[in-house]
Amino acid sequence: MKVWAKSIQLFHNKSYDLPAPGVTAIVGGNNSGKSTLLRQLNDKLHSPGNLLYGPVDIVTNATSVRTGTAADFLSWFAQHATYFPGGDRQESYFRQPNGGWSSTARALASQWEHEEQISSFGPGAQSLIFYADAQSRFGSVGGVGQRNEPADPPTHPFHRFQDDITLLHRLNGICERIFQQSLTLDEFSATMRLRVGKVGIPAPARDQSQRAYREALARLPLLEEQGDGMKSLLGLIIPIVAAAHPTVIVDEPEAFLHPPQAYALGLALGELSRESQTQVILATHDRNLLGGLVASSAPLSVIRLNREGNTTSASQLSYEQLRELWDDPVLQYSNVLDGLFHRLVVLAEGERDCRFYQAALDEYARVNSRAKDTGHPIPPPSDVLFLPSYGKDGMFRLAEVLRAATVPVIATPDLDILNERPKIERLVKSLGGDWNPLDKDYRIATQPFRQPTEGVPLSHIRKELLLAIEEKLKEDPDTLHDAATKKELGLIIRARESRWHLLKDFGMQAFNRGQSGPATKSLVRDLSKAGVVPVAVGELERFAGPDLEVAKGKEWLPAALEAGIHKQPAAQSHMAAILKSAEELAGRLD
């Protein structure tokens, strides 16, 4: 028997399916409504009329789905709650421990039999749903009393560990993987508890002396006395391992955890959802936890909330979309998942570009602290993620995935993206734009660069080759002039023989003032509206001009930042163009 949340309907009357078993992750920036959504969902699943938290109805409806028969339903409760058989003039009923709900068997069976798809979990919701925020799940690691009678059903995960040692072994495996610590179930005290570590001697049989074992057991520290990170993580994992609840709703599972532990928790949650046939619905701020969930291969859905002023929007990202991104060996180790938690993502070709643009934005926001100074809003720099795509081809994939989650995306490739019409066209389309209106201006603007050249001065080629050779030797002084190196140097020569190299050398100034001038302006304007802002000076290093002693390579960025190149007009103008494009894109999305 299982009862799971099937779907939720949000404020804009759109419904989102929730995988079961599987994981649904609610993501978004601060104050976007993630925690409120979880609390309201929990209320709706308890009773359709409930709405106890939050000034705004984020969750307007929730539906649930079940497997099994009414007899299975009652049998499940007989194993998870205390059963009181009815006598004369009394009905049999189930009661949860610690003053929890009680319900008659007749009421539970009636609810099951009369609705094919129930809109809430009904009177049994407290047993069917485990809801925990960062503080309340500490209670799961606390002790529980021994059962009164040997035949009493387990009413706590520790009782289930006592009945099924394989569950305790599963919990131990997770604890050892994440914390390098074992757990021991203390069954010898009046209050059953988990202790950290191994006793070191075998547990005695019931007809043997227990004193030595009890003394060794008492020396192990209690789990409930450990740090908040360990208590919070295991307080969430314990009910899932014990399969005590079909549905788990948890807010900020990564609370108190370091990034590697958050990743390990996401991996464990995904694996357990499959193994225990459990549904997990969580809200998170952490891309490490999200990365662990994706890596677990569990069914996963991501719902992203975005709040602008008093308006909240939502979108859903499927597991297939996330899996496609995760299977890319380069992007898997990028911080692309961080984009789900930002108000704006700016795609650049490399990590150095991103760091330079972040410094330029910090300066831009400092100088132009008020929107009226610039004519367009300036988002807080912490809300903008500059994301490396590791080349132009990576921009398409990143843009498509992030846009599917309605993350605003701007791409700022080097100007030589105009070399290849298929690439610039695909980038525009991946950002949701229409290439057709831009095609005529593109052909006119780039026509001079598509003409055959009569020759290139050797001095131009020599400069590029020397820079490339120096970079190779810095990486490895013993670099061989093998086939790969020859090919790379040959590409430099061929690039110099083409007129397209002028774009990187001179940027937008390379375009003619004649017929292509108006077409170029129109093309740049329309690209900006589509979310594409090519580097006007050509490429990153051209922001510094010829004055910087370091022309290229790893040393360029620290030298440029120390010289304040990010504060100069060219870099600040580029940042203004990016923010203007973001404003235009937001208007188009609205």
Per DSSP, the residues of 158-208 read HHHHHH-HHHHHHHHHHHHHHHS--EEEE-SSSEEEEEES--SSPPPPTTS
Sign of the four-CA dihedral 518, 521, 524, 526: negative
The reported pLDDT for the residue numbered 95 is 66
Residue 44 phi/psi, 5° resolution? -65, -35
Starting from the edge strand earliest in sequence, which strands make up the sheet with 82-84, in order?
82-84, 93-95, 102-104
- Angle of helix 228-241 relative to helix 165-179, nearest 10 degrees, comes to 150
Alpha carbon of residue 103 to chain centroid: 40
How many beta carbons lie within 10 A of that of residue 493, not counting itself? 12
For residue 180 the two structure tokens come to: 């390098």
The reported pLDDT for the residue numbered 322 is 76
Sign of the four-CA dihedral 355, 361, 366, 367: positive
CB 333 within 8 A of CB 390: no
3-state secondary structure 443-465: HHHHHHHHCCCCCCCHHHHHHHH
Nearest to 59 by CA among 21, 30, 20, 26: 26
Cα gap 305→341, rounded to integer Å: 9
**pTM, whole model, 2 decimals?**
0.77
CB 61 within 8 A of CB 43: no
Cα gap 574→289, rounded to integer Å: 34
The reported pLDDT for the residue numbered 117 is 46
Domain positions in the chain are 147-232, 341-451+499-589
Alpha carbon of residue 51 to chain centroid: 28
Residue type, 329: P
Cα gap 264→289, rounded to integer Å: 7
The reported pLDDT for the residue numbered 32 is 82
DSSP conformation class of 154: P
Cα gap 303→316, rounded to integer Å: 4
- Angle of helix 165-179 relative to helix 259-275, nearest 10 degrees, comes to 160
How is 502-515 classified by DSSP, letter by letter? Answer: HHHHHGGGGS-SST
How far apart, in Å, are the Cα atoms of 214 and each of 185, 205, 211, 225, 430?
A: 12, 13, 5, 19, 65
Going by their DSSP bridges, the two strands 344-348 and 409-411 should be labelled as parallel
Nearest to 118 by CA among 11, 15, 2, 240: 2
Give the bridge partners for 5, in sequence order.
64
3-state secondary structure 373-413: HCCCCCCCHHHEEEEECCCHHHHHHHHHHHHHCCCCEEECC
Task: List the chain pLDDT tens, one digit each, 590 residues.
Answer: 778 888 888 877 788 899 988 999 999 877 888 988 999 998 888 876 654 444 557 888 888 888 888 888 888 877 776 666 765 555 776 765 554 567 777 777 777 776 544 566 766 777 788 888 877 788 889 889 988 888 777 878 899 899 999 999 999 999 999 999 999 999 988 899 999 999 988 888 777 778 898 999 999 999 999 999 999 999 999 988 987 788 999 999 998 899 999 999 999 999 999 888 899 999 998 989 998 998 898 999 999 988 776 677 888 887 777 777 677 776 666 778 888 888 899 999 999 999 999 999 999 999 887 555 555 667 889 889 999 998 888 898 889 888 888 889 999 999 888 888 999 999 999 999 999 999 999 998 887 776 655 555 666 667 667 777 777 777 777 777 777 777 666 655 555 555 666 666 667 776 765 567 788 889 999 999 999 999 988 889 989 977 788 877 888 999 999 999 999 999 999 999 999 999 888 766 55
Cα gap 379→343, rounded to integer Å: 8
CB 289 within 8 A of CB 262: yes
Cα gap 360→564, rounded to integer Å: 9
The reported pLDDT for the residue numbered 385 is 94
Alpha carbon of residue 241 to chain centroid: 24
Helices (H) and strands (E) in the chain, counts: 21, 18
